């Protein structure tokens, strides 16, 4: 990660409390009240106020999923319903007509959400009560995903504590918004506006972003065009949650 010094405070009047107050505002607002308002632009204006007043900086970083990499996805499922599964369609992204708002997708625009460990995939799925399907994917070819997270892939090493703290706090502003653990439509309206208005660059393949449910872990959301081409199903298990994590019960594929 590159390090550099900034010559002046991010904002001479900005305080950490003010940054947190703006974070709280964006997190708590019910975006369903004004569905046609561009909240991404509101956020951009806020970011400008953190900087020079006319510009803000954004990181255009990509993460490459390597050929042979494994990804994991879960579906809340009870064993009595296994006979209803239609292989292999049920193990990929949902059909358009069933796709609702998600952290990085809009209605009728499905993405294949997955994680890098089974435990992260389990923690991310708030619908799991006891039984669930654990799906393992293997990449047949590499995929480059747009990184969602910090504004800049950098950190300040400025000599003054105030400048250092403020710069890094503002740099983490958007990532903190994206990681708020709310599984509700009103919040996902906002996170999608963030993606469309704050993060620039090619986003056609999908996204790589920090997990909101499992600290220091990451998730991916991949365009379904890569299903059955760049991504293949390695195995599928019916599992049950236990006090120690989970237990594999029977292999379906």
Running DSSP on this structure, what letter comes out for residue 180?
Answer: -
pLDDT range class, residue 1, cuts 50, 70, 90: very low
- For the stretch 51-77, pLDDT in tens is 545 455 566 789 999 999 999 999 998
Relative orientation angle of helices 185-197 and 39-50, to the nearest 10 degrees: 60
d(CA 213, CA 195): 19
What ranges do the domains of the chain cover? 3-59+155-197, 62-145+203-251
pLDDT tops 70 at residue 163: no
Q: Which of 113, 136, 110, 138 has its CA nearest to residue 126? A: 113
When mean pLDDT is compared across 38-52, 65-79, 177-191, the lowest value belongs to 38-52
Using left for φ > 0, alpha for ψ between -120 and 50, and beta otherwise, residue 215 falls in beta
Alpha-carbon distance of 89 to 100, in angstroms, equals 18
In this predicted model, which residue has the larger pLDDT, 157 or 215? 215
Distance CA 58, CA 50 (A): 13
Q: What is the pLDDT of residue 224?
A: 97
The arithmetic mean of pLDDT across residues 160-166, rounded, is 63
Q: What angle do CA 21, 23, 27 make, to 5 degrees?
A: 120
What is the reported pLDDT for 156? 61
The more confidently predicted of residues 79 and 69 is 69
Higher pLDDT, 163 or 113: 113
User: What contacts 216, CB < 8 A, 6 or more positions away?
Assistant: none
Q: What is the DSSP letter of 244?
A: T
Euclidean distance between CA atoms 4 and 209, whole angstroms: 24
pTM for the full predicted model: 0.82
171 in Cβ contact with 98 (< 8 Å): no
Distance CA 156, CA 10 (A): 11
Give the model's pLDDT for residue 149: 81
In the prediction, which pLDDT does 14 show?
57
């Amino acid at each position: 990660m590159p390090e550099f010094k900034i010559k002046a405070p991010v904002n001479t009047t900005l305080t950490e409390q003010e940054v947190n107050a703006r974070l709280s505002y964006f997190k708590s607002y019910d975006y369903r009240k004004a569905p046609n308002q561009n909240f991404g632009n509101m956020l951009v204006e806020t970011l400008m106020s953190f900087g020079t007043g006319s510009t803000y900086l954004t990181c255009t970083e990509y993460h490459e999923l390597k050929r042979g990499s494994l990804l994991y996805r879960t579906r809340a499922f009870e064993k009595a319903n296994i006979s209803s599964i239609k292989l292999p369609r049920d193990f990929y992204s949902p059909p358009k007509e069933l796709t609702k708002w998600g952290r990085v997708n809009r209605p009728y625009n499905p993405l294949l959400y997955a994680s890098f460990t089974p435990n992260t995939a389990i923690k991310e799925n708030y619908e799991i009560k006891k039984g669930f399907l654990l799906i393992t994917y293997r990449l047949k070819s590499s995929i480059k995903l747009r990184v969602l997270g910090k504004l800049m892939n950098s950190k300040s090493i400025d000599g003054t504590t105030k400048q250092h703290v403020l710069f890094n706090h503002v740099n983490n502003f958007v990532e903190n918004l994206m990681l708020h653990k709310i599984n509700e439509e009103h919040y996902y309206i906002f996170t999608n506006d963030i993606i469309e208005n704050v993060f620039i660059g090619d986003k056609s393949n999908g996204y790589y972003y920090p997990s909101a449910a499992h600290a220091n872990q990451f998730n991916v959301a991949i365009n379904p065009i890569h299903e059955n081409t760049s991504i293949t199903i390695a195995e599928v298990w019916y599992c049950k949650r236990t006090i120690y994590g989970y237990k594999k019960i029977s292999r379906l594929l």
